[in-house]
Amino acid sequence: IKRKEEEEEENSGTSRLSVHLRFLKEEDQMDNIVDSLNKAYEKFVLASASVLESKESAGGQKASLTDAALENFKEKWELFRVACDQAEEFVESVKQRIGSECLVDEATGLTTATGQAAVGAATSLPPISAVRLEQMSRAVRWLVLELQRGSGVAAGSHSSSTGFDARFAEDSTQ
């Protein structure tokens, strides 16, 4: 029993280190995205000022300088939109990862906040292992892929009316 506790503590330390390293990597990535978004915005603003200046210097007449400034403005606008899209994609990916981690923490009973722990206790659902949660997640992904292929119930699968998946020992005891 003591060796198992030592292994769990060692794994927990390794896990914390990997989470910390992943956080630092995401922080660097976020800084880079913010910098590129800021640069794209500044270039966009300068391009819009250039359009206004060229239009004013042309006296409202159509001029090649104004056309060039408008073309530059359009290009900078597109680059700014791309930077915004990249920032939005990053935020969405972080939101999904955080949601997944919260789900794993709740399912495995690793929540430390008293409010969250109370919620878990109120549902009276016993925590499940992270390995078991990953197995269930893979099974769901596999079923989704099968359904997307249009095959319905895959060969070798059993009827869903049984209420369990025979591939997992815990389900067969229910």
The model's pLDDT over 54-109, given as tens digits with 9 standing for 90+, comes to 989 988 777 898 999 999 999 999 999 999 999 999 988 888 888 777 777 777 76
pLDDT, tens digit (0-9, with 9 covering 90-100), for 8-24: 555 555 666 776 677 77
* Residue keyed to tokens 């794209």: 40
Residues 110 and 140 in one domain: no
CA separation, residue 79 to residues 33, 34, 72, 87 (Å): 13, 14, 11, 12
Q: Exposed/middle/buried for 116, CB within 10 Å: 0-12, 13-18, 19+? A: middle
**Neighbour-count burial for 94-110, b at 16+ CB within 10 Å, e otherwise:** eeeeeeeeeeebbbeeb
Domain span at residue 17? 2-126
Residues 97 and 14 in one domain: yes
Q: Beta-strand (E) ranges in 40-159?
A: none
Determine the average pLDDT of the residues in 135-147: 83
In a domain, 171, yes or no: no
Residues 14 and 96 in one domain: yes
Residues 62 and 133 in one domain: no
Residues 152 and 86 in one domain: no
Residues 73 and 136 in one domain: no
pLDDT-based confidence at 4, cuts 50/70/90? low
Q: Look at the pTM and tell me if it is higher than 0.85.
A: no
The 8-class DSSP code of residue 31 comes to H
